Structures are given as C-alpha cells and as structure tokens.
Structure 1
C-alpha cells in the first residue's frame, strides 16, 4: 500500500475574522491544532477535499457554530461528535456515511442538516428525509437529533439492565457455592457428634422423678379422652333434633299455604267471578286455554262434591 502524503496548508492565511476556509485544499487530514489556536474561529469550511475521517482531536473544536464537510470521503464520525454542542449548521453532503454516532443526539442546537448523497441505512434515511429546501433541512436536523437521543437513552437503559443481570447472576453463583460448602460442614459436624456419642456411656437406670412424671401424665390423658368422647356423643343428638324440627316446620307451613290457596280459589270462583275474569286477562294466550280447562274441571268437581254433601241420604 502506497503511503498517502500529508498535504500541509497555512491555516493563518485562510482565516478571516471568525471564518476558516480550507475548501479545495486537497488535504486528507484536518489540522486541528492550528485551527484550535484561533479562538475566534466559529465557522469552518472543509468542503471538496480528500478527508476520510475527522480524527480523535476534532471534537475539541467546541466553539464551532457552522461546519461544512461536504464532498469528501468521510466514512464515519467520531463517537464523541456530540461534544460539538454549539453546532447550528452541519453540511455532510456527498460523503460515504452509513451510520451516525449516538452522541449525535446531544446536538440540541442544530438547525440545519444536509446528508444527501450518503449511503445511509434505510431506517436512518427514513428519519433524515430530504433536504432540498431550508425548511426540509431544518426538519431533518430536528428529527435526526430526536431519533438518536431516543436511541441513546435506550442503549443506556439496556446497559444498566445487563449490569443488574450480571450482578444478580454473580450473587446467585455465590449463594450456590455457599450452599455447596454448608453440607460438607454439616457432614463434618454430624461425624464429630457421632464420635462424641460413642465415647459417652449410656444411662440404663431411670430416676424416681421420671417415674413420677410418667404417672402424673397418664391420668391427665385418660381424662382428656373421656371428655372428648362425651362431646362427640352429644354432638350427633343435637344435630338430629334440629333436623327433625326443621322437617316438621316445613310440613306444617306447606299444609297451611295449601289451605289458604284453596280458600282463595273458592272465594274467587264462586263468590266473585268478576275478579277471576280479570285475572284470566293477564294470563298469556298460549297457556290460557289449558288453565281454563283445568280450572273448569276443578270447579265442576267441587260443585259435585258440595251438592253430594248437602243432599240428605235417601231412605230405602
């Protein structure tokens, strides 16, 4: 690979008040130190050169308000490009940019952005849009800064989540190691306890106090069993009595309601037939005929029964 010769320019001759014009100079590297020595420079024109990268020190030019990098061979911008917070006008026309750094979202003062002629990825190209008029370039600057600021916050959140997951996984691993060590300690302690138990002599004789305690405990257990048996024997009898009482009340209430219904039917059918006719009007048509036939049969049977009851028995 042949070495690219560095083209030197006299920056002092290209500075006019606050403007540094290095366009059409054929340079492939930016003389950052020479430009930074002129503190009044806020406008930098580097258009129509052979620049492929801005370099790491370019972000130290934080006084820049207007930057023209059009018609170069720039493939990427530095990751710290967002440090140029004072930028209001940025021209990157006709370069080889595919991506923009996430720090680009920190350029909140940017009011003009031209990225035409760059092979941007489709998602970024859709956000950037066209820049044919000043209004479109203004919208492009606003939308691009917002999009990359949102992407930057999402990237930071994912980093924090990864950190938390790494911490939790490390803590779980430490707990697992601790639990593996504890059974070994427990086994050792059990073995030592077993050895001590073997070394001690066994007690074969029981004391008088133990015998007295056993004698006192036995009667208490017997009394408890008797009280529990009494309670269990009383329980079923009370339940059976309550069930019989409820059965009697339900039967009596049924016969009482039946007598009242028969009395009401008798009064309506034989004493006040007008009320019966009015009640029939409220019955649906599909059930009216069936109910009337049944009631008529019932009425005839009742009249026959009453007539038989009133007639005296015949003498033979």
Structure 2
C-alpha cells in the first residue's frame, strides 16, 4: 500500500451476488484477499476503477477465479506466481502501468481473453500482445502471450540446468586442484589459500550476477532477431546446384539420343549403299535374295527408288566418261 494513503475497508459480503464479487469504484488500495477467499463460490471478481498499485502477496491463493477485471488501476507489476490462477479464462488489465508480464503466464492454459490496452509495455511485449482493439485481438493476445511465456520458460529452465552442471564440474575441478596443492610447503599453501579465497569471492560475485540476470530474464522478455540471410544464401546455392545438375543431365540425355540416331542413320545408309551396289554391278542373284526378305508392303517402293537411283548414277557416269567435245 502506498505511503500516506489510508486503507479503505469494504464489506465484501454486501458486494457478493451469486458467483460474482463487485468491488469496483471502491477507492481500494489493497485487496481484501482473505475476505474474498472465505466465499468459495466466487469465481467472477471485479476490481476495476480503484487505486491498486500491486495485488499483494496472497492474491494468487484465489485459484478458483475464472474472470478477473483489474482495469483502470495503477498496477505496475504482477506477482511472479500469477500463473497459479490456472482456471482463469478472462483477464482485463486495461489502463494500468504494466511494462512486462511474469513468465508464469505460460501456466494459464485456459486463458481465452487478455486486454492490455493502455499499458506502457516494452517493444518486445507490444509485438507479442498486439493492439487488443477488438475481441478477436484480445483472444489472439491471450493465445500468443501464453504460448511465448511457456516456450521461453522451458528454454530458461534448460539453460539454468546446463549452467548448474557446468558450475558443478568447475567446482569439482577446483576441489581436485586444491587437494593436489595440499602436499606443498606452508608458504605455498598460504598463497594457494589466498588464491582460492579470491577465486571463491570471484565465483560468488559471478553467481550473484547470474542470479540477477536470471531474475531479470524472468521479468523481462527479449525477442532475438531471426537471421535469415545465410539460410537463404545456402538455399539459393542448393537450388542453383540442383538446376545445374538437372541441366547437365538433360544435355547428356539429348547428346546420347543424338549420337544414337546419327549412328543408326549411318548404318542404314551404308546398308542401303551396299544393296544398291550389289544390285547394280556385282551379283543380281544376291540382290534378288535380299529383296525376298523385304516385307511385301515396302518391296515395291524400295525397288522403284533403287531403280531411279541406279539410272541417275549410270547417267552421271556416262556423262563423266564422254569427252567434252562430244558432249
């Protein structure tokens, strides 16, 4: 409770109706947690438009609350164990002085509505929470806040566990080094004791600093930027490699097909020339026998083409052998 402000007493029993307790507009500077907790049927609590700066130490004992309205107060910090209110579904913190939220929000798995509009949140929390200007925005804010706090809390616990293991290993190594130095002279032992004392003091300072940083991490959430540059460059390189390999495969396939077609064409041409040569000059009987193996539907066409070719060749030979004058 702030200094110089008198504690306002309110008759809680008169403010309870069915399952709700309305303590709004009561000029409260401290929440009557014990009186509220005595009424076990209360699950809706309205503390809006008061002069609250903190919720007090015992507020998280009200674990039956489903809907909580703390709007239009001067609340600066929520309790670190605020996540004990696991039944909470609706939370209104409109127009307060909150800069960050406790990481125990990750335990509020049933939270479906969260209004943080009008609070001087840090940029990281503003990015997580959003605008909260509509019902849909408040629902999305509740979902984002719970998920981020739960994931960050698990990562923080894992880092603390690894740090504790490293501290245990370093302390064991220091103890082994101390046992080995115990067999030296008294002057050397005094020096080592002094060195160990200084190391212990430094270690204590480091532990205190780590505890402070851990506490700060629990209260303040920082979002690390995602560096997508190297990943994109590697992906581009892989895509280029795939394209180059695909292009080379296509080129090899096309070159193989072209070579095979060229070879077949040459082979057929040579066979055709041999057949024509046999028909024209050497042995017509062999040509007749070869013609018998040609299918009937192609035989006439091949013979006519061959005859035309033979006539043209004989004309060309006769023209070549005749003297120029006679020609």
- Fold shared by both chains (TM-score > 0.5): yes
Q: Provide the C-alpha distance between the structure 2 equivalents of 1:122 and 1:132, rounded to a whole number of angstroms.
A: 17
In the TM superposition, what is the alpha-carbon distance from 1:150 to its structure 2 partner?
1.3
**Which gives a bigger RCO, structure 1 or 2 (Cα 8 Å, sep 6+)?**
2
Q: Provide the C-alpha distance between the structure 2 equivalents of 1:40 and 1:181, rounded to a whole number of angstroms.
A: 67
In the TM superposition, what is the alpha-carbon distance from 1:86 to its structure 2 partner?
0.1
In the TM superposition, what is the alpha-carbon distance from 1:161 to its structure 2 partner?
1.8
In the TM superposition, what are the counterparts of 1:227-306 in structure 2 within 5 Å?
A: none
In the TM superposition, what is the alpha-carbon distance from 1:155 to its structure 2 partner?
1.6
Which residue of structure 1 aligns with residue 199 of structure 2? none
* Residue 1 of structure 2 corresponds to residue 7 of structure 1: no
Q: Provide the C-alpha distance between the structure 2 equivalents of 1:114 and 1:2, rounded to a whole number of angstroms.
A: 29
What is the number of residues matched between the two proteins? 184
Q: Provide the C-alpha distance between the structure 2 equivalents of 1:30 and 1:183, rounded to a whole number of angstroms.
A: 65
Which residue of structure 2 aligns with residue 143 of structure 1? 144
Which residue of structure 1 aligns with residue 54 of structure 2? 53
Q: Provide the C-alpha distance between the structure 2 equivalents of 1:143 and 1:2, rounded to a whole number of angstroms.
A: 37
Q: Provide the C-alpha distance between the structure 2 equivalents of 1:131 and 1:101, rounded to a whole number of angstroms.
A: 19
Which residue of structure 1 aligns with residue 34 of structure 2? 33
In the TM superposition, what are the counterparts of 1:88-237 in structure 2 within 5 Å?
A: 88-182=89-183
In the TM superposition, what is the alpha-carbon distance from 1:177 to its structure 2 partner?
1.3
In the TM superposition, what is the alpha-carbon distance from 1:181 to its structure 2 partner?
3.0
SS of the equivalent of 1:27 reads: coil
Q: Provide the C-alpha distance between the structure 2 equivalents of 1:62 and 1:31, rounded to a whole number of angstroms.
A: 15
Which residue of structure 2 aligns with residue 78 of structure 1? 79
Alignment deviations for residues 121-162 of structure 1 (CA, whole Å, 9 cap, x no partner): 101110000112211111100000011111111221121122
Further displaced range: 155-164 or 23-32: 155-164
Q: Provide the C-alpha distance between the structure 2 equivalents of 1:18 and 1:101, rounded to a whole number of angstroms.
A: 28
SS of the equivalent of 1:113 reads: strand
Q: Provide the C-alpha distance between the structure 1 equivalents of 2:137 and 2:67, rounded to a whole number of angstroms.
A: 18
Q: Provide the C-alpha distance between the structure 2 equivalents of 1:137 and 1:37, rounded to a whole number of angstroms.
A: 31
Runs ≥4 residues deviating over 4 A: none
When the two chains are superposed, the root-mean-square deviation of aligned CA atoms in Å is: 1.3
Unaligned residue ranges in structure 2 (runs of 5+): 186-327
Which residue of structure 2 aligns with residue 22 of structure 1? 23
In the TM superposition, what is the alpha-carbon distance from 1:2 to its structure 2 partner?
5.4
Alignment deviations for residues 71-123 of structure 1 (CA, whole Å, 9 cap, x no partner): 00000000110000000000000000001111111000000000000011101
Q: Which has the larger radius of gyration?
A: 1
Change in 2 beyond 3 A, CA 1:65/1:127: same
In the TM superposition, what is the alpha-carbon distance from 1:10 to its structure 2 partner?
0.6
SS of the equivalent of 1:56 reads: coil
Q: Provide the C-alpha distance between the structure 2 equivalents of 1:2 and 1:50, rounded to a whole number of angstroms.
A: 13
Q: Provide the C-alpha distance between the structure 2 equivalents of 1:107 and 1:99, rounded to a whole number of angstroms.
A: 16
Q: Which TM-score applies when normalising by structure 1?
A: 0.57
Q: Provide the C-alpha distance between the structure 2 equivalents of 1:171 and 1:182, rounded to a whole number of angstroms.
A: 18
Which residue of structure 2 aligns with residue 69 of structure 1? 70
In the TM superposition, what is the alpha-carbon distance from 1:22 to its structure 2 partner?
0.4
Which residue of structure 1 aligns with residue 261 of structure 2? none
Q: Provide the C-alpha distance between the structure 2 equivalents of 1:180 and 1:23, rounded to a whole number of angstroms.
A: 69
SS of the equivalent of 1:20 reads: strand
